[in-house]
Amino acid sequence: MPRLARIDAPGVLHHVIIRGIERRKIFNDNQDRDNFFDRLAILLPETNITCYAWAFLSNHAHFLFRTGNIPLSTLMRRLLTGYAVSFNLRHKRHGQLFQNRYKSIVCQEDAYLKELVRYIHLNPLRAKIVTDISELNNYTYCGHGVLLKKEKHPWQDSGYVLSYFGKSLGEAQKGYLQYVEAGIEQGRRPELVGGGLIRSLGGWQAVKDARFSGQDRIKSDHRILGDSAFVMEVLEEAEEKFERFYELKSQGYDLGTIEQKVCGIFGIEPDEIYSKSRQKIRAEARGLYCYWAVEDLGYSLADLARLFGMTGQGIGYAVRRGERIAKEKIID
């Protein structure tokens, strides 16, 4: 079910932070770290989520993601649940591994993408995992080395970030490295990981009513990082989606409604939607059904995978196909 506590939309930039419960380690050794980014290598392409920056420390990790059509929560649920089970089995432990839910801050790209890439990639140096920039350049468990072509992880998008620093690869890498080095003396940047302004103003509604009068920058209380115009835009989009969900629910809109609508559009019987046939008309009908179920009713990929007897990856492909059909045919 959509929740205002998690703001997301296709194309949104998220600074994600995960922490071990009671500040305990989430990575005991390199085998754990390899396990984690092997999972990223599978799940990021499946969920169509882009990773621009990342860093593994001992008891926490940072990521800079851009979501696609599949919500960030889908990636994080599969990633953290799978890793926690594997970690507990390997280390013969029980119970919760991560501290509460992951922290996700929606970020304004123009103002913060470069800042966040630098902040995230300097984490191992600030934590004294590496002693200087030379060691950081070659540190395996951080996206910094990928941007310098010291490490190779196809699931990290290095080209987009480097495009901010120069036209040629060499020029961009040099500019990026100089930018990172210039940030070493800045130390910790609490303004990049949330703040208390929203809470102090009395919550989101008070902020919206005030329209951020006299404020030129917003620290998001763990939700949004950007200027007032960006915050308003994100809030309005989230509220519109939230209100649409409950409007549809109040009108009795459910999977049965979607089924009837899809059958009417494609001129097929309900059982043809649930078949695993790859025939074009059935695949398109299945895709539109899945897209509306996820987008309008908040069903997860796992829910639909169980319903259709398919893999989560297969449902993800169906959702993307359905979105394309909805836009091309202007179906509402």
What is the structure's pLDDT at 68?
A: 83
Q: Residue 32's pLDDT is what?
A: 97
What is the rounded distance in angstroms from the CA atom of residue 301 to the CA atom of residue 323? 14
- Residue written as tokens 């509402």? 332
Angle between helices 312-328 and 280-295 (to 10 degrees): 90
Q: In which residue are the tokens 């915050």 written?
A: 231
Distance CA 316, CA 48 (A): 9
pLDDT value of position 200: 31
Whose tokens are 């290095």? That residue is 158
Closest CA to 305 of 296, 297, 314: 314
Tell me if domain 13-190 and domain 255-328 are identical in fold.
no
Domain ranges of the chain: 13-190, 194-250, 255-328
Residue with tokens 């085998």: 31
CATH of region 255-328, choose from 1.10.3720.10, 3.40.50.450, 1.10.1750.10, 3.10.450.240: 1.10.1750.10
pLDDT of res. 141: 95
Q: Is 329 exposed, middle or buried (0-12, 13-18, 19+ CB in 10 A)?
A: exposed
Going residue by residue through the chain, which has 332 residues, state the pLDDT in tens, using 9 for 90 and above. 333 345 666 778 888 999 999 889 999 999 999 999 899 999 998 888 999 999 999 999 999 999 887 888 889 999 999 999 999 999 999 888 998 778 887 777 777 789 899 999 999 999 999 999 999 999 999 999 999 987 778 899 999 999 999 989 999 999 999 999 999 987 565 555 654 333 333 333 444 444 444 444 443 344 656 555 555 555 555 555 555 555 566 667 788 989 999 999 999 999 999 988 889 999 999 999 998 888 777 777 777 888 898 887 788 888 888 988 887 765 55
Please tell me the predicted confidence (pLDDT) of residue 238. 54
Q: Position of tokens 């966040």?
A: 116
Q: What is the pLDDT, as a whole number, of residue 169? A: 92
Domain 13-190 sits in CATH at: 3.30.70.1290
pLDDT of residue 134: 95
* Residue-level pLDDT at 215: 45
